[in-house]
Amino acid sequence: MTKLNTQYSIRNTNDVYAVILVGGIGKRLQPLSKPSMPKPFLSVTKDRKTIFAKTVARIRKILPIKNIIVVANKRQAHLIKKGFPKILKGNLLLEKASKNTAPAIALASLKLKKRSIDAVIVVLPADHYIGNENMYLNTLKKGIDFVKGNPGALVTIGLQPSFPATGYGYIRVKARGRRGDVYQVERFVEKPDIETAQKFIDDDRYLWNTGTFIFKAVTFLGAIRRLAKGIYGPMKDMRKIEEKYDTLPNISVDYAIMEKAYDIYCVKGLYRWEDIGSFDSLKKVLKAESRRFSERDGKVTKIL
């Protein structure tokens, strides 16, 4: 049994839940990633654990197993159970069709609201590489503590850009309104061209959007009700969600909620992070982890 690490202690973890989003099939990394072996289930680190298993192992240091939820496509169920064999039956939420992050988070929020009206959700992508675990967990803790003190807030995690990335979204934070490492968000910015990305590097108000979010379940559902009626309507009656899931829009949480909502805050992190959304970023991680690989025409064909 993994003991919680008191170094990252959170006041009362009973109402704090991790929601790990497994996502789609990793089209940008095909043919290495494919429907039978999506990106989160690739092994890229020197310990040879999958990216998904590493995601679970990190969050288990601050949250108990009973508070870890996974949202995935039905066809990925066996891969989830292999990578996280101790997952509780009621904590694996299987979508009949992948509908992007907004419906997936709404589904988890509806389930967790029933467990606790005070449920705080930490949304974690299952396919990201984290290079400094200590800084990462402390950043999550800051976000959780902030939401506990500001229950109406929707919080995201941002990182200072280290190069002019054109494959990442950005967050522009306000020059004023800072509370320690927590900033008010002015707006979300889509993936820029190289010239614009270079300008962002030179302006410390722009941070990489990591796709990691923290908020209360009821707060998120309130935002869904106001801003994404196409999601909220079909999901109101949980008894019929199975038959109605196909009708939900395929939309990200950024588009559906974060770009429109108020009371958005960003915790600035300093840990190393890679989205692994391209072969360039994958090769960067593999080299950092001393993993050998085969490639053809710039694409990784096999990790050795």
CATH code at 218? 3.90.550.10
Distance CA 215, CA 270 (A): 21
User: Does any domain span residue 230?
Assistant: yes
Query: pLDDT over 70 for what percent of the chain?
Result: 94
Report which listed range, 12-26, 98-112, 242-256, is most confident.
Answer: 98-112
Which helix or strand (DSSP H or E) is residue 104 part of?
helix 101-115
User: Does any domain span residue 100?
Assistant: yes
Distance CA 60, CA 84 (A): 11
Distance CA 72, CA 84 (A): 13
Q: 28: domain range?
A: 14-151+212-251+274-303
Distance CA 58, CA 44 (A): 16
User: Does any domain span residue 113?
Assistant: yes
Given this model, what pLDDT does residue 6 score? 46
Given this model, what pLDDT does residue 1 score? 47
Instruction: Kindly state the tokens that stand for 108.
Output: 């988890």
- C-beta atoms surrounding 168 within 10 Å: 24
pLDDT at residue 110 tops 80? yes
User: Does any domain span residue 122?
Assistant: yes
- Among the ranges given (21-25, 27-31, 213-217, 225-229), the one the predictor scored with the smallest mean pLDDT: 21-25
The greatest distance separating any two alpha carbons of the chain, rounded to the nearest whole angstrom, comes to 52
Q: What are phi and psi of 276, to 5 degrees?
A: 50, 45
Number of domains, the chain: 1
Distance of CA 102 to the CA centre of its chain: 11
Q: What are phi and psi of 107, to 5 degrees?
A: -60, -50
**Mean pLDDT over the full length of the chain:** 91
CA proximity to 123, closest of 68, 84, 176:
68
Which helix or strand (DSSP H or E) is residue 243 part of?
helix 241-244
Contacts of 287 (CB under 8 A, 6+ apart): none
User: Does any domain span residue 90?
Assistant: yes
Q: What's the Rg (C-alpha) of the chain?
A: 18
User: Does any domain span residue 163?
Assistant: no
pLDDT at residue 5 tops 70? no
User: Does any domain span residue 262?
Assistant: no
Instruction: Kindly state the tokens that stand for 153.
Output: 């807030």
User: Does any domain span residue 156?
Assistant: no
Sheet strands (E) in the chain = 16-21, 68-73, 92-95, 120-125, 129-130, 154-159, 170-173, 182-189, 206-216, 264-269, 273-274, 293-296, 299-303
The predicted-structure confidence for 134-160, as pLDDT tens digits, reads as follows 999 999 999 999 999 999 999 999 999
